[in-house]
Structure 1
């Protein structure tokens, strides 16, 4: 049986499982956002760590690189924003708050794949400015 998994966050650089092949891919009408909380591998129930999820966004394309579809029928995890169904959904936050998690690994992996994801790049730029200011003031 063949199973393709669409990695749009840490799976891009750290799959955590063996795979036979890796291809760039995309999903239409979704965008990558740092709105999901993790209480098991990136945080605790009291302090969930932010991870990325996909949210519906008409006209947008979440992609690691421009390419023609090579496969279809891919497994994609999308977290719901319904707090009754997803108690770990964190929702929007300031760029500074979002940037405290695995941002730079994701940014680097996306750039290496030729993708310029606006949300990820904006968060990374803000963090770099914040860190630069902190260094200047110390």
Structure 2
């Protein structure tokens, strides 16, 4: 059943899946077509810093791909305005706001919703300073395993997304692969923290042995008379 855009619908594919952060009236699990989830966007103010940016997900256009997530409905002009103001602050690294068709499972031929808002980024480092592009799996895993910011660490962002996709019944193979690689990195980092035993240093006894007293020579008195 298609619904005209009389209200605000927002599609979440990252942290919004488990933590929308705004008041909503309805949540629908589903997907959008011709997009895939990638971890090519830097975050320097939530789960990373300018010196050690986190990796968060954005969408990359790919014909034939599907990206599962959740669509949230917000009714009422004031509530819609408040939700958009919140999302524009939260999604400040995303420089594109698009309107897409949203599909529910079992309704693949005709969209359930049209005009659903989704925040994405320009896949161009010159256009968007937060876009850092793809990297080898191990490199991304090391970055995610070690990045931390005011809102927490990068690895929890990834693990929570992994769990959220499992909870809605549509796991993402790329998310799982990356999460498993991050766990390997964390395991190696933990091994390196094993306490190093310092070289042997002779212990100094707490009680010093008694000093041997040597009698002083008697003073010779010289008669000056």
Which residue of 1 is the match for residue 177 of structure 2? 122
Partner-residue secondary structure (3-state), 2:117: coil
Q: Give yes or no for the alignment of 1:111 onto 2:166.
A: yes
Which residue of 2 is the match for residue 35 of structure 1? 40
CA–CA distance in structure 2, aligned partners of residues 111 and 98 of structure 1: 24
Which residue of 1 is the match for residue 114 of structure 2? 72
Which residue of 1 is the match for residue 13 of structure 2? 8
In the TM superposition, residue 136 of structure 1 has moved relative to its aligned partner by 6.2
Normalized per residue, the structure richer in strand is 2
Which residue of 2 is the match for residue 51 of structure 1? 56
The structure 2 residue matched to 1:97, chosen from 129, 132, 142, is 142
> Structure 1, residues 1-59: CA drift from partner, whole Å, max 9, x if none?
51111100000011111111111121111110111112332333333321110001121
TM-score, normalised with respect to structure 1: 0.86
Structure 1's 133 and 44: CA in aligned 2 closer, same or farther, altered over 3 A?
closer
Which residue of 2 is the match for residue 83 of structure 1? 125
In the TM superposition, residue 98 of structure 1 has moved relative to its aligned partner by 5.1
Is this contact kept in 1: 2:37–2:57, CA < 8 A? yes
Is this contact kept in 2: 1:64–1:114, CA < 8 A? no
Q: Which runs of 5+ in 2 are unaligned?
A: 1-5, 71-103, 146-153, 195-225
Is this contact kept in 1: 2:43–2:55, CA < 8 A? yes
Q: Which runs of 5+ in 1 are unaligned?
A: none
Is this contact kept in 2: 1:98–1:123, CA < 8 A? no
TM-score, normalised with respect to structure 2: 0.55
In the TM superposition, residue 99 of structure 1 has moved relative to its aligned partner by 3.5
In the TM superposition, residue 77 of structure 1 has moved relative to its aligned partner by 1.3
User: If you compute each CA radius of gyration, which structure gives the higher value, 1 or 2?
Assistant: 2
Higher relative contact order (CA 8 A, sep 6+): 1
Q: Alignment RMSD, CA only?
A: 2.2
